[in-house]
Structure 1
Amino acid sequence: MKHLLPMAAVTLLLLPSACSGQSTPATVKPGTYRAVLKTKGGELPFGLDIQPTATDPKTYTVFAINGNERLKMDPATVQNDSLRIPMTLFESELVAKINGNQLRGVWRRRRTAQQTQTLPFSAQHGLAYRFVPDNKSATTNLTGKWATDFGSKSGKVDTVNAVGVFDQKGNRLAGTFLTPTGDYRYLDGNVVGDSLFLSCFDGSHIYLFKAKHDPATKTLTGGHWAGVSGYEAWVARFDPAADLPDPAKLTYLKPGAKTLNFSFPEPGGKTVSTTDPRFKNKVTIVQIMGSWCPNCMDETNFLSPWYKRNKQRGVEVVGLAFERSAEMSESGPKIERMKQRFQIDYPVALAGTNDKAQASKALPDLNAVVAFPTTIFIDKKGQVRHIHTGFSGPGTGKYYDQYVEEFNRLVDKLLAEPGF
């Protein structure tokens, strides 16, 4: 169920008024916390590292911890007896009362101007385990690749629409799911007896996976809870050869088209077009993305510093942002926040809404926009040479390394070709 409490109303529930008699703000005990969201699937745990800033005792630096990822949240602040940890890019936040070693409150995310989703949140200082302590034993090992069917109706792997890649050490399990349109980012958890437990919290995506392993059939059968109310069954079969469709064949130019024509406004009012002089006789990388999209965040985290290192070679990058609203007054500030967070030097224009059918209409040279992000490589003569659907982020390990290698190899090849 989606909770429709207005943001201000929830704040009033958590933050005491000035007349409560409390004049000195509470302090947060620094260190690692085991945080939990209460979802329909049960407890969804993740890590928090909270440290005071050197300049302001009421401000804290906070990282969300998922496996090897330490995702920096926006600066956290204390008001009276409550801590607020924002993730402005995704219009979400954690707000909790401080009670010694504990935090207790809510996670909330703004979906529309009239709708805010919430889940109960708590955190305990000094605990670093995910689902169970490390001394709890596992009776099976799930390391390897798993052909996965999300949404399975039969309880069998009828179709392969994802590939699970797991690494287990003791009872600790880390990994992700690769899909044709992106990955599930950093998943962290445990194997308890013969059962899998994985979770992720990044401020936007909230994932909880549970499954039971049958060693006789080498299958995992379980459920996946996402956000406040999402759920689907899933089944996976151990398969070292499991693979996905070629990401270069999902999105392509329509017959007769050779280039990508577009003209969209930036938040500052300037229009970005294919015909702009900055793109003439240069290799151009077009990033179809959105500020709301964690996979796009991972790609931007790669592209932004890459562009700084390589722009003098004769290469350009342009972002086409498809947001929840096509109104610049609503989506322009989100694009600007994203540019600031990732220190983006290349232009990012508002191209429309994140409805895939509408996005496809906005770029009629393509057969369809099937994933955010999608990356399009254009040569010096303005012709589209390669389209990569989806993005395998750093949470996928060797698959991310392989993508970066192929990305650089392709750009080097296009830069070596003659222009006009």
Structure 2
Amino acid sequence: MKKIFLVATGVLLGSLAHAQVQKGIWRAEVFNKGGALPFGLQIEPAGAANTFNVWAINGKERLKMDASTLKGDSLHIPMELFDAELVGKVAGNQMTGVYKKKRGKAVLTLPFRAEFGKEYRFAPQPKPTSWNIAGKYAATFKQADGKTSEAVGLFEQKGSRVSASFLTPTGDYRFLDGDIVGDSLFLSAYDGSHLFVFKARLEKDKISGDYFSGLSGHASFVSVKDEKAALPDEKSLTFLKPGFDKVSFSFPDAQSGKKVTLDDPRFKGKVVILQIMGSWCPNCMDETNFLVPWYKKNAKRGVEILGLSYERSDDFAVAAPKIKRMVDRFQIPYPVVLAGAADQTASATLPMLNRIMGYPTTIYIDKTGKVREIHTGFSGPGTGKYYDQYVEDFNRLMDKLLAE
């Protein structure tokens, strides 16, 4: 009887022991409507026991996930900003589990797996290709209901490996990474919020196929090579209605709950940047990564930034903790207020604007309180020279406003 007890105890202790997580590069896949969506994971031990630092790898980007924890035999890799998490049962060089996405009270899942030591994207053994698809493309996306939207495709190529992004009037598709296999192109991206898979056919100066997003999104797309491809002027999409030259509001600070207005002493007589954003928005994350260090360097010049956050819920008790996570993650040194719910129209909270077309939208205000420019969207680092041009234009405008 004693021997049986000891054996049973050993089995129990073994079941409670933590699995061993290999440190280094893992090739991960989430499976959505488009099939396998590959991306890289870099996993390294953190300071505390059974905790890890994890980065999602998409082309040139290494995006850090939130603190990851090994619980029993499963590794939990959260991205709390986007209410998302990867959970994988670890068994040697393999992980199997689910991608989890919260939507309100529901938790939606997709299959997930990863293998240690693999670094390829789609092609395990890339082969030379005669295709050269590098360049700019005029792209049209078509939804199942027939609605279309325009974009500009940006493609870079090295051998059969391709990195890409799509510019849209409201932002970009961040870092897409993939391979040319025969006469097909495959691209993917994962950042906790974006789950993108592109499967396309290659023809002379043309790329067309299917685009799968999130848990079940799908659209067809056609891209035609066009070095002159362009989008509508991002400075013309959102504007003040006739009779207005200023914006005004009173929104609660997400930290203190105290009402914040542009009449507060902090903003009087200064150049002010209003960052219309949301904690759920990956392009807003990219803009914040640019604005935070810029503000720290330039605040003494007489400029302030105020974040107007539109969340999935306008309930302060629900939204404020999400904004706080964003503030903490990016170490945002300027105030962020809860402006409303993301599905509200602009007229509901900022009635002097014609509309808020997309997130982020940035409003530039001069020292007298007048709106001087409104910029829709943000061209992030994944867009290469378009990001560089944005930074140049931003600095030129700020130098001008600060010199007045």
Report the TM-score, using the length of structure 1 for normalisation.
Answer: 0.91
Hey, what does 1:203 align to over in structure 2? 192
Give the % identical residues.
57
Task: Give, in whole Å, the separation in 1 of the partners of 2:324 and 2:71.
Answer: 27
1:111 corresponds to 2:103: yes
Displacement of 1:195 in angstroms is 1.1
Displacement of 1:160 in angstroms is 6.6
1:67 corresponds to 2:59: yes
Which amino acid is the alignment partner of residue 212 of structure 1? R
Which amino acid is the alignment partner of residue 322 of structure 2? K
Paired residue for 1:89, among 81, 92, 98? 81
Contact 1:152 1:235 in 2 (8 A): no
Hey, what does 1:344 align to over in structure 2? 332
Rate the CA distance shift 1:153–1:354 in 2: closer, same or farther, 3 A: closer
Hey, what does 1:311 align to over in structure 2? 299
Contact 1:105 1:120 in 2 (8 A): yes
Which amino acid is the alignment partner of residue 279 of structure 2? S
Which amino acid is the alignment partner of residue 129 of structure 1? Y
Hey, what does 1:229 align to over in structure 2? 216
Task: Give, in whole Å, the separation in 2 of the partners of 1:144 and 1:195.
Answer: 17
Task: Give, in whole Å, the separation in 1 of the partners of 2:311 and 2:126.
Answer: 45
Rate the CA distance shift 1:154–1:134 in 2: closer, same or farther, 3 A: farther
Task: Give, in whole Å, the separation in 2 of the partners of 1:153 and 1:270.
Answer: 45
Rate the CA distance shift 1:57–1:159 in 2: closer, same or farther, 3 A: closer
Secondary structure in 1 matching 2:187: strand
List aligned pairs for 1:256-271, cutoff 5 A: 256-267=243-254, 268-271=256-259
List aligned pairs for 1:248-259, cutoff 5 A: 248-259=235-246
Hey, what does 2:314 align to over in structure 1? 326
Cα deviations by residue, 1:379-407 (Å, 9 ceiling, x for unpaired): 00000000000000011011001101110
Task: Give, in whole Å, the separation in 2 of the partners of 1:154 and 1:332.
Answer: 36
1:400 corresponds to 2:391: no
Hey, what does 1:4 align to over in structure 2? none
Task: Give, in whole Å, the separation in 1 of the partners of 2:129 and 2:344.
Answer: 42
Hey, what does 1:151 align to over in structure 2? 142
Structure 1 stretches lacking a partner, 5+ long = 1-17
Cα deviations by residue, 1:157-197 (Å, 9 ceiling, x for unpaired): x9771000000111100010000100000000011111111
Between stretches 262-271 and 65-74, larger displacement belongs to 262-271
Task: Give, in whole Å, the separation in 1 of the partners of 2:62 and 2:14.
Answer: 37
List aligned pairs for 1:135-174, cutoff 5 A: 135-151=126-142, 161-174=150-163
Secondary structure in 2 matching 1:248: coil
Contact 2:29 2:38 in 1 (8 A): yes
Hey, what does 1:364 align to over in structure 2? 351
Contact 1:139 1:194 in 2 (8 A): no
Cα deviations by residue, 1:44-84 (Å, 9 ceiling, x for unpaired): 0000000112x223111100000000000011111111111
Contact 1:190 1:198 in 2 (8 A): yes
Cα deviations by residue, 1:220-279 (Å, 9 ceiling, x for unpaired): 220110011100111111111111111000000000100011110012211111211111
Secondary structure in 2 matching 1:333: helix
Task: Give, in whole Å, the separation in 1 of the partners of 2:257 and 2:375.
Answer: 29
Contact 1:61 1:76 in 2 (8 A): yes
Secondary structure in 2 matching 1:292: coil
Displacement of 1:138 in angstroms is 2.7
Cα deviations by residue, 1:72-120 (Å, 9 ceiling, x for unpaired): 001111111111111111111100100100110001010112x111110
Hey, what does 2:111 align to over in structure 1? 120
Task: Give, in whole Å, the separation in 1 of the partners of 2:83 and 2:145.
Answer: 37
1:376 corresponds to 2:363: yes
Paired residue for 1:184, among 170, 173, 183? 173
Between stretches 19-28 and 219-228, larger displacement belongs to 19-28
Task: Give, in whole Å, the separation in 2 of the partners of 1:41 and 1:363.
Answer: 39
Which amino acid is the alignment partner of residue 397 of structure 1? G
Task: Give, in whole Å, the separation in 1 of the partners of 2:113 and 2:58.
Answer: 17
Hey, what does 1:25 align to over in structure 2? 18
Task: Give, in whole Å, the separation in 2 of the partners of 1:19 and 1:330.
Answer: 40
Structure 2 stretches lacking a partner, 5+ long = 1-10
Contact 1:34 1:47 in 2 (8 A): yes
Secondary structure in 1 matching 2:294: helix
Over the aligned positions, Cα root-mean-square deviation in angstroms equals 1.7
Which amino acid is the alignment partner of residue 371 of structure 1? G
Hey, what does 2:39 align to over in structure 1? 46
Displacement of 1:42 in angstroms is 1.2
1:355 corresponds to 2:343: yes
Which amino acid is the alignment partner of residue 229 of structure 2? A
Which amino acid is the alignment partner of residue 368 of structure 1? R
1:37 corresponds to 2:30: yes
Cα deviations by residue, 1:276-314 (Å, 9 ceiling, x for unpaired): 111110000000000000000000011111111111000
Which amino acid is the alignment partner of residue 290 of structure 1? G
Secondary structure in 1 matching 2:357: coil
Rate the CA distance shift 1:154–1:312 in 2: closer, same or farther, 3 A: closer
Rate the CA distance shift 1:402–1:276 in 2: closer, same or farther, 3 A: same
Secondary structure in 2 matching 1:45: strand
Contact 1:188 1:198 in 2 (8 A): yes
| Equivalenced residues, count | 393
Secondary structure in 1 matching 2:318: helix
